[in-house]
Copies of this chain bind each other. A is one copy, B any other.
Amino acid sequence: MAKVHNFSAGPSILPQEVLQKASEAILNFDNLNLSLIEISHRSKNFEAVMERARQLVKELMQLPDGYSVLFLQGGASLQFVMVAQNLLREGGKAAYTDTGTWASNAIKEAKLFGQVDVIASSKAQNYTFIPKDYTIPEDADYFHCTSNNTIYGTQMKEFPDSPVPMVCDMSSDIFSRRIDFSKFSLIYAGAQKNMGPAGTTLVVVKDEILGKTGRAIPAMMDYRTHISKDSMYNTPPVFAVYVSMLTLEWLINNGGLAWIEELNRKKAELMYGEIDRNPLFYGTVAKEDRSWMNACFLLHDPKLEPEFDKMWKEAGISGIRGHRSVGGYRASMYNALPLESVQVLVDVMKEFERVKG
């Protein structure tokens, strides 16, 4: 069968060697003659997987002491709740930036736990840029931001120096570039873009910020419960953690964040270069805020869409239809997407210009 160029926005492309190993582990894991998914999570074989996955995260993030790494269930959306439940004090307030659909969902969930100040928003401009001119109140319990806005295709290139604990939803650009992770007090990310399959969410949290809300928290919703049990308080999502571990290994073995940053830069430059150059297409967001992960673009003449669609489908491209709230196209170029796939898309755009231009 023909190769598919998989630009899916999430769940999304994973390295072929990771898929190969995952497929084998479903039949025979660690030479136990048992499937990965039919052994106890308390077996030494799976405990080693969980430990290694957590260790690889620490290694990639170069975290100082005092942070805990968890692989939880519930998706990034459950973190919208847990963050506020664990950090927003009774009678306290939190500061959020509203930079897209997910940020706005995070704000909605937080409001159930206390006052939420939206200190900056690009909503009125349909989230086409990242606000930069804001002050984080010193009396907020925490500041929450979204590093990459998956649907709108904007990305924070710099992070503020926050006077209060900084929390970041990195679901759609985790481990895509070098960052000073120690600036953050809590980072979370659904695995299903850059890190693995759907079904687990990475949480990295500075222990000292926990336990200060004055609120009774159900054990399952309390980060401290999961920390005290090394991320095995209840049955973890075994398969998703295993595949995440494999993907993190792939990343480190290939050169880590320096390597992937370079590759992601090349892909983004190639993609946006063509969007800008090609007279038929234009990008939807402010240039300085363009996401390296999700490139959103439109045809000047939307009537040409059916013809363009036919052409990229024939080239084996998949998953570039834009989100229903933006329309047009979104090329998601997560870590595992090879430069070659971007080249194929760019070639199709060039060819479309030749035919139509």
Contacts and interface: CB of A to CB of B under 8 A. Distances in A.
Interface stretch (A21-29, A118-126, A141-149): A21-29
A78 interface: yes
B237 A199 contact: yes
B239 A197 contact: yes
Interface residues of A, number: 65
A73 B73 contact: yes
A32 B19 CA distance: 15
Interface of chain A, main secondary structure: loop
A34 B2 CA distance: 11
B198 A41 contact: yes
Contact of A14 (B38, B199, B221, B234): B38
Contact of A199 (B12, B73, B220, B319): B73
Interface stretch (A3-11, A151-159, A204-212, A275-283): A3-11
Contact of A197 (B105, B200, B217, B238): B238
Contacts of A39: 6, 8, 11, 319
A109 B219 contact: yes
B199 A240 contact: yes
Contacts of A3: 33
Would you list the 7 A-B pairs with minimal beta carbon distance, nearest first?
A: A199-B237, A37-B197, A23-B26, A77-B234, A73-B73, A1-B33, A81-B218
